[in-house]
Amino acid sequence: MSKIIINEARCKGCGLCTIACPQKLVTLSDTPNSMGYTVAVFTGPEKCTGCALCAEMCPDVAIMVYKGENK
């Protein structure tokens, strides 16, 4: 199963990853982080295909994608 890890310290909450995800598995948090940004959160690991579009769109290089087998 594929998954993504979002580095909250680097994320500025621009939302580009939420637009890029074809499965709509990345959303913006309801609560701000320690720097006041509403950071991106990964909401659906069971549906992630590992396409990495979210990571490609991230201007802050805050997203790492780990590809695995989808079962």
Question: What integer pLDDT is reported at residue 34 of this predicted model?
Answer: 86
pLDDT surpassing 90 at residue 16:
yes
User: Structural domain boundaries of the chain?
Assistant: 3-66
CATH 3.40.190.10 fits 3-66, yes or no: no
This prediction's pTM: 0.87
Q: What is the Cα–Cα distance from 40 to 15, expressed in whole angstroms?
A: 7
Distance CA 42, CA 38 (A): 13
Q: Quickly state the pLDDT bin for 69 (edges 50, 70, 90).
A: low
pLDDT computed for residue 71 by the predictor: 47
Q: What is the pLDDT of residues 37-62, one digit of tens each?
A: 999 999 988 899 999 999 999 999 99
| CA atoms in the 13 A half-sphere facing the CB of 50 | 9
